[in-house]
Structure 1
């Protein structure tokens, strides 16, 4: 599962909230909707307390504008380029800089959107085994290079929220039994039947890792270097909320 997000042209990537100056369209039902969702997803957790924490992390409030219903960000006029950060390279130049120059010189009048595949530090699978979600892979460039693309094109990026690299700090913490990370990953449950799980991989669904608690089987949908998150843990939801608002 990958999470895509648009940034609008001529607008820097930012974590600020949009306040609503018209009280009649303020989203007064935001807290109620959040609680209703959280009650279903986390039935054993106090939804009001989790709602408060989530709103704080996301910097949300009831004076924000209510979202438009049935909003469609796509239509037949959109043309999208999908690229890895190093799809276009030039000697002596960071690939994201080269990509931006290529877009401007060759495609500016033809496209309006760029879908940038994972550009974080990674350990395998062409970027989809993310080590750190808060920085750009130095071999590709930096956040200013990403912002430069977002300034002139609608930008969509992969966040990769279903698994991370087995070499990430979170997974190292999981093996050591410390936070953040000690409860972030999906482990095998007693008596769990996974015989009906189908996946296009030849590696086992579970991989055994040595931890401070002994050998633990961790769910690895795509392979042993990509360890799956356990979103039944609210801490995982809150962590990714922080990243989205980074």
Structure 2
């Protein structure tokens, strides 16, 4: 994937199954292949819970849908040997794009049976990915819950200096958030892709706003969902609004269907 040659790149994020059977995920993704989007973006052990290998699912998605798949790779799960092996393995399978990330922190209650690795940092992973010939992206997290924008921009600049070629934002929910991101990333010299996570219910919105680092759901939108006769439809409507914003301000959009609800994609893409 080369965002410098694509006018507007749309990807759909996929969470691998929590077991060895990918049939239900692939069955849900196959009908999407006819929609107008570039490809899939496959998460790796999100929220630090075990899931099927993202690289294995990338390969299966390519086989079953004919669409490209972007591999998420984290320093949390591998040492340098493992990271290098994953990058070379991805290239061998025809995967040409990687999203390099630190990875979510392991919850305190889970640390009695697992630990993080991180003997390479995300900047080193970006460099390794570039040397392996991968088109390399990174995550941009504004940390709105801690007013951490200045630090986040400095972090992103270091990733660009390490070789990052594009960035994907954490979910954005309003024009103010979109404008803030375009302002602070304008001079970085890389394409920025807006993250879009459709809301399902008022409870979903409140959970994301209060419990999930990197996500802020505006009060006005939370109120809209509380007052809506059909909160799911309201969440999809907001996602369509944000998708339109992405088209006017960003190089692309990464849509993250919640809880495997891929059936909402045609409406978001306005097909």
The TM-score normalised by the length of structure 2 is 0.31
**Higher fraction of helix:** 2
Q: Between Structure 1 and Structure 2, whose CA radius of gyration is higher?
A: 1
